[in-house]
Structure 1
Amino acid sequence: MGYIREFYERFIKLEEPEWRFIAAHFQKQVFQKQEHIIDLGETENYLSFIESGLVRFYIPGDEREWTFHFNFHKEFTGAYDSFLTRTPATYRLQALSETMLWRISYEDLQEVYTHTRAGNFLGRFIAERMFLTCARRTIDLVRYNATERYLQLLKEEPRVLQQVPLKYVASYIGITPQALSRIRRQIS
């Protein structure tokens, strides 16, 4: 759980009793490679911190899947809209490698919010960060063509290209794997 404390303390100093209270509400869970963390139609009951591993967000389809987000180690993850609204998820979260999560339930998170200033602060910070990520992704999809989106990814998120299979990278930038191969050939 040291990574979670490290994450918190990048933003706010934790007193030991406050940290013990927060830490007591998290539980560890490991997902195997390709295992679904949450499936389509399930309500997200946990906000999770990735100690190790990689998580893909995607919408399944009859002909192809649409990948729209990734989370890496030392990041929070989850179907946050489902978590907040207590409604079924309209997409899946999948572990792309063995993934160790520290998870806090919706009810326990409400208790942490109520009883700690750090929990409240971090909750707001995570919500704001998720909103900004979503807004930026939407703007990038509208503003840039596939080659520009790939170049943006190369520049701003090289770990996606280093750790994610290319078929998911192609889906993430909205093209086929064959089109991604052409783009990669053209720019190299």
Structure 2
Amino acid sequence: MEKFKESIQATFGTLSEGELEYLRSFFHEEDLANKDFFAKEGKTCNRLSLINSGLLRIYSLADGKEITQWISTPGYFVTEISGFFFNQPSRWNIQALGEVSLLTIDKENYIKLTAEFPKWKEIESGFIAKCFAMLEDRVFSHLSLSAEERYKIYFEQNKELFNQVPLQYLASLLGMTPETFSRVRKRLHENA
């Protein structure tokens, strides 16, 4: 419960103990094995989860090539937004990179939570605004920063991932070919 509380407070702001316990009652524990899918492209995603442990990769296939959109880490929420909120087929695959432990709320309980917990609408708005701000930051960095600058910023914010995730996934996430990623990485580590 402690990790849940910390993540909720960090994401949504201050809630009372009673509110946190009530909110937690809508979530159930879920485990994924390595390479299990949380969501699959073309199918509707019907759950939202908080990652307790492990990593999830969000990616799509384009012209036979995998494009990594994001690596979700512990303490963050994950879903496929167009599926969960708009009942549309997912554009993204979400797959476990190793063993993953989640706290999950399904769509049915999410609707029930929204109806029974009036404060949830305010919380949801804040969550969506944070998602939008993260998206804006990603777009800005891809449009205005060099490959080297994007690498440096991502490395500083996510050092641990460079030892946990295949580097081609990180290259894709940063909008680079694996070859460019390797050159940038080598140059930066030689100059460090």
**After the TM superposition, which residues 74-89 of structure 1 pair with which residues of structure 2 at under 5 Å, given as runs?**
74-89=75-90
Structure 2 SS opposite 1:12: coil
**Which residue in the other structure is 1:12 paired with?**
14
Asked if the contact 1:51/1:99 (under 8 Å) is kept, the reply is yes
Alpha-carbon offset, residue 167 of structure 1: 1.2
Q: Which runs of 5+ in 2 are unaligned?
A: none
Alpha-carbon offset, residue 49 of structure 1: 0.4
Structure 2 SS opposite 1:134: helix
**Which residue in the other structure is 2:44 paired with?**
43
CA distance in 2, matches of 1:82, 1:133: 19
Alpha-carbon offset, residue 117 of structure 1: 4.5
**After the TM superposition, which residues 142-153 of structure 1 pair with which residues of structure 2 at under 5 Å, given as runs?**
142-153=143-154
Structure 2 SS opposite 1:174: coil
Aligned in 2, Cα 1:12/1:116: closer, same or farther, shift over 3 Å? farther
Structure 2 SS opposite 1:41: coil
**Which residue in the other structure is 2:72 paired with?**
71
CA distance in 1, matches of 2:15, 2:183: 49
**After the TM superposition, which residues 11-160 of structure 1 pair with which residues of structure 2 at under 5 Å, given as runs?**
11-16=13-18, 18-160=19-161
Alpha-carbon offset, residue 118 of structure 1: 4.6
Alpha-carbon offset, residue 113 of structure 1: 2.2
Q: Which runs of 5+ in 1 are unaligned?
A: none
Alpha-carbon offset, residue 163 of structure 1: 2.9
CA distance in 2, matches of 1:50, 1:81: 19
The one-letter code matched in structure 2 to 1:13 is: L
Structure 1 SS opposite 2:98: coil
Asked if the contact 2:82/2:89 (under 8 Å) is kept, the reply is no
Matched, 1:184 2:185: yes
CA distance in 2, matches of 1:15, 1:63: 48
Q: How many residues in Structure 1 have an aligned counterpart in Structure 2?
A: 187
CA distance in 2, matches of 1:117, 1:2: 24
The range that moved more, 40-49 or 54-63, is 54-63
CA distance in 1, matches of 2:137, 2:177: 22
RMSD (Å), alpha carbons = 1.8
TM-score (norm. length: structure 1): 0.90
Alpha-carbon offset, residue 26 of structure 1: 0.9
Asked if the contact 1:55/1:72 (under 8 Å) is kept, the reply is yes
CA distance in 1, matches of 2:39, 2:120: 24
